[in-house]
Chain A
Amino acid sequence: MGSAISVSAYGGSKEAAHSLCVAACDAVQALDTRVLSKTASSSELYRLNHTDPAAFPVAVSSELFDALAETKAIYAHSGGKAALGCGALTSLWGMDTDEFRVPAQEEIDAARALCSDDTVQLDAENNTVFFAPGQELNLGSTGKGLGCDRAAQVLREAVDAGTITGGIVSVGGSIAAVGSSDGEGTSWRVGIRDPFGTANEYFATLTVGESFLSTSGSYEKQFTENGKTYHHILDLTTGYPAETQLVSVTIVAQTGLQSDALSTLCFLLGEEDSREVLELYNAQAVFVYADRTVSATASLRGSVELVNDAYTWR
């Protein structure tokens, strides 16, 4: 996952809050190390990607299976721009290990051929996974959301038990908000990072209740080679970072996984083409363009307040 995890617990005793925060952090890290990580050899996903094709189909834990299945389903709406099996291309660009490089055209073409979800088969009855030789499954764009789900679980149990009144988790910038800070349903205020500012500047605030938020932005992971800047959200139909007027998309969704996957998906699809899938998953979105104009889905619009004069509504 490679992200900073922060957990805040409200309304309980100090000891309870402290141990809760630690428990939630540990749960997220364990999830990454045990199940989701594409680079740690201890993780189930790693072992899956490194299994001999002759051994396919492989049975996996239901935890991993559900994550894979839901990610695949969401990316099925991408028109080929995103896929669960995009690992071959993301490793080529060095996205997984932050050792970025611009691959040669032949390498990209070869990797793209291995990035179709058509050859990824998931059997829900037996929890088995099958994919073509050379393919790699990648949960990199949903991992943070999954981490949020896991941490939210820990917090939710504590809220239900009355230990705390609420909590907020941030896993690499993906947010889960559980309960409320005062136990009376006061909304949370979430800032959306200014795509053109530093890590602590936000251009808008979102007032939300219990929810899951994720932001995908071209500012997140970038590198420059030969004067050209490349961001990390790859469009599988071209093999290159998506060319778009968008600089960031923030999604408010029902689960962490959905918010994370949808943020990547909507960034790739653009505002117009995202409407359908957003409705389908009952999710809301805020779109930010390179010219600092902002738009949001209808029911979210009222909860968004622009706090930076440079930004205007479309």
Chain B
Amino acid sequence: MKERKWISKTDGIVLGVLVLFAAGFLLWRAVAAQPGMRAVVTVDGEAVLQIDLQSAEDAQSYTLQNGVRLIAENHTVRFAASDCPDGICVETGALQKVGESAACVPNRTVVTVVGGEPRDVDVIAY
């Protein structure tokens, strides 16, 4: 019986489209991305915390209700500790540019770096 081809023209088109789209997007992000202003932390889809990255020089530690710990320093933010089995969130490392994000899926927590206006308060009381 004749086996299906190794690779066909259609495959080429599929690959081409994928690679073009993906590479283009990544390139755009790498070039056009601004250093982030703030990091938005969401748990279960709700924003629970916003960290001002602009003013984050010395280490600032944040602990969420679900036990996840974040550290902001040198205008970056990262997962510092979490009780999830894989620890991928912590492995992701420091986030700095607009659009970069890290997630701890077992804890339903996502940290995304966003741009926007600089916030001129040191903290928000709520």
Q: Are A and B in contact, CB atoms below 8 Å, in the complex?
A: yes
Assess the A250–B125 pair: CB atoms within 8 A.
yes
A7 pairs with B60, CB closer than 8 A: yes
* B65 neighbours in A (Cβ, 8 Å): 2-4
A41–B9 CA distance with the chains assembled, in angstroms: 66
The answer to whether A4 and B47 touch (CB under 8 A), given A190-B122, A190-B123, is no
Nearest to B60 among chain A residues (CB) is: A8
Q: Nearest CB to that of B48 among chain A residues?
A: A4
With A8-B122, A188-B122, A250-B125 as given contacts, are A14 and B49 in contact (CB-CB < 8 Å)?
A: no
If A189-B121, A193-B124 touch, does A18 touch B71 (CB 8 Å cutoff)? yes
A187 nearest CB neighbor, chain B only: B122
> Across the interface, do A199 and B59 meet the contact criterion of CB distance under 8 Å?
no
In the complex formed, the residue of A with least CB distance to B71 is: A18
Number of interface residues of B (CB under 8 A): 26
A-contact 0/1 string along B110-126, CB 8 Å cutoff: 00000000011111111
Query: In the complex the two chains form, is B61's CB within 8 Å of A191's CB?
Result: no
Chain A residues with Cβ under 8 A from B121's Cβ?
A: 189-191, 202, 205
Q: Which residues of A36-86 are within 8 A (CB) of B?
A: none
Contact of B63 among A9, A25, A174 (CB under 8 A): A25
Q: In the assembled complex, how far is the CB of residue B122 from the closest CB belonging to chain A, in whole angstroms?
A: 5
Q: Which of A104-112, A119-127, A210-218, A234-242 contacts B (4 or more CB under 8 A)?
A: A210-218
Task: Say if the beta carbon of B73 comes within 8 Å of chain A.
Answer: yes
- Type the 1/0 row for A160-203, where 1 means its CB is closer than 8 Å to any CB of B: 00001000101001110100010000001111110000111010
**Residues A199 and B125 in contact in the complex (CB < 8 Å), given A6-B60, A8-B60, A25-B63:** no
Residues of B within 8 A of A181 (CB): 122
Q: Assess whether A191 is in contact with B124, with CB atoms less than 8 Å apart.
A: yes
For residue B58, CB closer than 8 A to chain A, the reply is: yes
Seed contacts A170-B123, A170-B124, A188-B123; 19 additional CB < 8 Å A-B pairs: A4-B48, A4-B62, A5-B62, A6-B123, A7-B61, A8-B60, A8-B123, A9-B58, A17-B58, A18-B59, A21-B61, A21-B71, A24-B61, A168-B122, A177-B123, A190-B123, A191-B123, A191-B124, A214-B125
The 8 closest A-B pairs by CB, nearest first: A21-B61, A173-B126, A193-B126, A18-B59, A191-B121, A17-B58, A200-B50, A191-B124
Residues of B within 8 A of A (CB): 38, 40, 47-51, 58-65, 69, 71, 73, 119-126
Residues of A within 8 A of B (CB): 2-12, 14, 17-18, 21-22, 24-25, 29, 164, 168, 170, 173-175, 177, 181, 188-193, 198-200, 202, 205-206, 213-215, 217, 220, 250
